[in-house]
Amino acid sequence: MSYLKEIYRKEIVPALREHFKYKNVMQVPRLQKIVLNMALSHEKINKDRKIVDEAINTLTAITGQKAVATKAKKAIANFKLRENMNIGAKVTLHGENMWDFLVRLVNVAMPRVRDFRGIAQRGFDHNGNYSMGIKEQTVFTEINIDKVTQTLGMDIIFVTSAKTDEEGRALLEALGLPFRKQETKPGEKH
């Protein structure tokens, strides 16, 4: 079992329960899944058809779980896009794979991002879920930089059982996600 899952059970759950005054332990928000998605531009796909395979292999290497291709839902002639054409890759992590990925993301990948000052707080969806982007896949140690032909970015979505953004932020902060402190603009109250 992942040490982060143990910390969640033994330390984070009681702390969140006390902070939000939950009557039942089942009300405490939990991380349900993590979804990684690489959406590729039509220019990249039309220039190099093997880029989708590279995206699938990259996500598979990063997560340790087989990624699947995402397909276009409808044809768009201006973009030379046909229906059911592969346009990206995604992988959904649950259980131990999810906890292991989160540990590697927080402790290994994020510190390798150049000029990293924390992740923005504006990625919440008002239901406690959070999404963030990474501009290049080379921050993950599983990627061999010598074999990278193109820089690929990805979206990482954290799906929680939280009902509000405040609960979701408290859960993700407790799990180790380094949120940037809210910056106030001159003349703005905080």
Task: Kindly write down the DSSP assignment for every residue of 5-54, as one continuous string.
Answer: HHHIIIIIHHHHHHHHT-SSGGGS--EEEEEEEEEPPHHHHHH-TTHHHH
Q: How confident is the model at residue 190 (pLDDT cuts 50, 70, 90)?
A: very low
Residue 20 forms part of a structural domain? yes
> For residue 76, is pLDDT > 90?
no
Residue 58 forms part of a structural domain? yes
The pLDDT, as a whole number, for residue 100 is 92
Residue 181 forms part of a structural domain? no
Average confidence (pLDDT) over 105-127? 86
Q: How confident is the model at residue 183 (pLDDT cuts 50, 70, 90)?
A: low
* Higher local confidence (pLDDT), 101 or 87: 101
According to DSSP, residue 145 is labeled G
CA angle, corner 129, sides to 127 and 133, nearest 5? 140
Residue 133 forms part of a structural domain? yes
CATH of the domain at 89: 3.30.1440.10
In angstroms, the Cα distances linking 14 to 20, 21, 156, 186, 190 are: 10, 10, 27, 38, 29
Lowest mean pLDDT among 53-62, 76-85, 161-170: 76-85
Average confidence (pLDDT) over 62-90? 82
> For residue 148, is pLDDT > 70?
yes
The pLDDT, as a whole number, for residue 97 is 92
Residue 113 forms part of a structural domain? yes
Residue 155 forms part of a structural domain? yes
Full-model pTM: 0.86
| Structural domain for 96, as ranges | 3-174
Residue 179 forms part of a structural domain? no
Per-residue burial over 47-86, b if 16 or more Cβ lie within 10 Å, else e, is: eeeebbebbbbbbbebbeeebeebebeeeeeeeebeeebb
Number of domains making up the chain: 1
Distance CA 169, CA 174 (A): 8
Q: How confident is the model at residue 184 (pLDDT cuts 50, 70, 90)?
A: low
Residue 186 forms part of a structural domain? no
